[in-house]
Amino acid sequence: MKGYINTTHVMGRTLMSRHNSSYMLQYQWRQDSNPLHIRVITKKEYDDIKKLAGPEESRIVTATNDLTIMHTTSSKYYMRIKRYVNKL
């Protein structure tokens, strides 16, 4: 992933993004919950959540420095991320 300034990880209703040196997590744990929760996270938290996200399904390069990574959607991975975020 070297060389991409903006990276987005999509895991179902959870989205994690890196833009330059800013890290953000957007999540919606239940389909009927409103609004979508947005949280600023650190680089360490970003790296930890990236490991918990599960295997990649696909990668999409949307622009010169933009990368979108789609992860496998599974309740197992959702629960791992949810438990981690609730501890923060």
Task: Average pLDDT across each block of 10 residues of the chain; the chain has 88 residues. List them in order.
Answer: 75 86 86 78 92 89 83 85 88
pTM of the model: 0.81
Q: How much is the pLDDT for 2? A: 56
Residue span of the structural domain in which 47 resides? 6-87
Q: How much is the pLDDT for 35? A: 66
CA 30 to each of CA 2, 12, 43, 44, 72: distance values in angstroms, whole numbers, following the listed order: 33, 11, 26, 26, 18
Report the C-alpha gap between 12 and 10 in whole angstroms: 6
Count of structural domains within the chain:
1
| Domain presence at residue 66 | yes
| Domain presence at residue 1 | no
End-to-end Cα spacing for the chain? 26
Q: How much is the pLDDT for 61? A: 87
Report the C-alpha gap between 79 and 62 in whole angstroms: 29
Q: How much is the pLDDT for 42? A: 93
Q: How much is the pLDDT for 1? A: 45
* Residue type, position 86, single letter: N
Contact 8, 69 (CB under 8 A): yes
